[in-house]
């Protein structure tokens, strides 16, 4: 990856917005609801981590991660996505490739998540290929804003 492209990715990004569309181009419901939240981290060594969620998640009735009812556990899983691994950029194709080491969705482990990327106005826009969510094929546009860090 070129130094300039590498520098553009490196940092911590906050999810600003999501847009999803079905295969026929019509707007689709976001897996992250109307108030999505997320963080995306790229470091200079080729490591990455992503966490995305619905903004308004319900707590379990008990404060025990294994103590939720089946419905509570399902809702928690369906409203959250997290994975980490390494990344590389294919500038020719205009894609960033996340090689997944571990993920909330076990099917992603060991695979690649490819995202078309573009930069502009301090934002990183990632576009997903079609993926199945809730039985429907959807594609997403996720807009990320670079976070600034203050010294502690």
**Can you give the residue ranges of every domain in the chain?**
3-146
3-state secondary structure 113-125: EEEEEEEECCEEE
Residues 6+ away with beta carbon under 8 Å from 13: 39, 40, 41, 42, 124, 144, 145, 146, 147
Q: What is the pLDDT of residue 117?
A: 98
| Chain segment 86-139, per-residue pLDDT in tens | 999 999 999 999 999 999 999 999 999 999 999 999 899 999 999 999 889 999
Q: What is the pLDDT of residue 49?
A: 98
Q: What angle do CA 10, 16, 21 make, to 5 degrees?
A: 110
Task: In whole angstroms, give the CA distance from residue 82 to residue 35.
Answer: 17
Q: Which two tokens stand for residue 6?
A: 């590498």
For 3-146, give the CATH class.
mainly beta
| Chain segment 31-81, per-residue pLDDT in tens | 999 999 999 999 999 999 999 999 999 999 999 999 999 999 999 999 999
**Averaging pLDDT over each range in 3-7, 8-12, 28-32, 132-136, which range is the top one?**
8-12
Q: Looking at beta carbons, which pairs linking 111-120 to residues 24 or more positions away fall under 8 Å?
A: 113/83, 117/89, 118/94, 119/8
Please answer whether residues 31 and 133 qualify as being in contact, where contact means their C-beta atoms are separated by less than 8 angstroms. yes
Q: What is the pLDDT of residue 59?
A: 95
Q: What is the pLDDT of residue 1?
A: 45
- Per-residue pLDDT averaged across 11-36, rounded? 94
């Amino acid at each position: 990856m070129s130094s300039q492209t590498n520098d553009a990715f490196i940092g911590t990004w906050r999810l600003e917005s999501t847009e999803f569309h079905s295969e026929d181009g019509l707007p689709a419901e976001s897996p992250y609801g109307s108030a999505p939240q997320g963080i995306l981290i790229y470091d200079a060594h080729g490591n990455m981590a992503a966490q995305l969620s619905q903004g308004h998640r319900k707590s379990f009735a008990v404060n025990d991660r294994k103590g939720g009812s089946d419905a509570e556990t399902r809702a928690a899983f369906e409203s959250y996505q997290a994975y980490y691994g390494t990344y590389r950029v294919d500038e020719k194709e205009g894609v960033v490739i996340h090689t997944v080491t571990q993920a909330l969705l076990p099917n992603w482990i060991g695979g690649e998540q490819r995202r078309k990327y573009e930069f502009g106005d301090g934002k990183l826009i990632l576009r997903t290929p079609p993926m199945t969510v809730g039985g429907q094929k959807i594609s997403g546009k996720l807009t990320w804003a670079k976070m600034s860090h203050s010294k502690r």
